[in-house]
């Protein structure tokens, strides 16, 4: 792949600066109005088991969160994996959908409510089916994947929301880790060793 010219590098640098600037803005707004961020911790720590669900890139970001929650010792399952058991009362669903209307995620939220489990949701739309079902709600001030206006984000197809899901997931893990009193050596034995 040849070397990158300074013009190409400048474009990448401009993109990095724009993306970081948008992320800083989202984080500043979440910190200023945290909503249910700490309540998410309560939903997850009180759960017998935690199920994570998101579609596309949001789902990939939540898979990273699932791994870290497992490192903490939580019983975590990624919805859609062949070994994922049925959700039941006492469990929690951690779900992300920018629009809050993704069919499979809304259906899973309905099932979660029907069995008496709790929901922690991450979305951009406060008045969406997913948000209305949630026991703890994080509303990320970002564009949905269909918003091409450029007002909430200059990034393509919900990129800012998906990045924020990853950051919120890491912040959830980090807060739970610090509350636990465990250190890195305590978590390390749960790290994958079949790599």
* Residue 164: strand, helix, or coil: helix
Terminal-residue alpha carbon distance, the chain: 29
Instruction: Indicate left, alpha or beta for 73 from its phi (over 0: left) and psi (-120 to 50: alpha).
Output: left
The reply to whether 162 belongs to the active site is: yes
Q: Please classify residue 81 by burial: count the beta carbons closer than 10 Å to its beta carbon, then call 0-12 exposed, 13-18 middle and 19+ buried.
A: exposed
Q: Are 95 and 122 in contact (CB under 8 A)?
A: yes
Instruction: Please state whether beta strands 118-123 and 76-78 pair in parallel, antiparallel, or not at all (unpaired).
Output: unpaired
- Candidate list 13, 110, 162, 195, residue with the active-site label: 162
Q: Are 88 and 50 in contact (CB under 8 A)?
A: no
* Residue 122: strand, helix, or coil: strand
Q: Are 93 and 116 in contact (CB under 8 A)?
A: no
- Half-sphere exposure of residue 159: CA atoms within 13 angstroms, side-chain side: 14
Q: Which are the catalytic amino acids?
A: 162
């Amino acid at each position: 792949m040849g070397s990158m010219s300074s013009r190409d590098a400048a474009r990448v640098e401009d993109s990095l600066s724009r993306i970081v600037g948008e992320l800083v803005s989202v984080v500043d707004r979440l910190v200023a109005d945290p909503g249910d961020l700490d309540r998410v911790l309560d939903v997850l720590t009180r759960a017998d088991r935690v199920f994570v669900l998101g579609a596309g890139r949001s789902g990939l970001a939540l898979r990273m969160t699932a791994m870290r929650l497992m490192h903490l010792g939580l019983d975590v399952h990624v919805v859609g994996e062949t070994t994922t058991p049925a959700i039941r009362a006492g469990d929690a669903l951690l779900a992300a959908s920018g629009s809050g209307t993704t069919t499979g995620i809304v259906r899973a939220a309905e099932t979660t409510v029907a069995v008496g489990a709790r929901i922690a949701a991450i979305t951009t739309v406060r008045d969406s089916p997913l948000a209305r079902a949630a026991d703890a709600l994080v509303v990320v001030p970002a564009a949905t994947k269909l918003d091409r206006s450029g007002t909430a984000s200059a990034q393509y197809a919900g990129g800012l929301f998906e990045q924020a899901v990853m950051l919120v997931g890491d912040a959830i893990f980090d807060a739970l880790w610090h509350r636990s009193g465990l250190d890195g050596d305590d978590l390390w034995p749960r790290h994958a060793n079949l790599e």
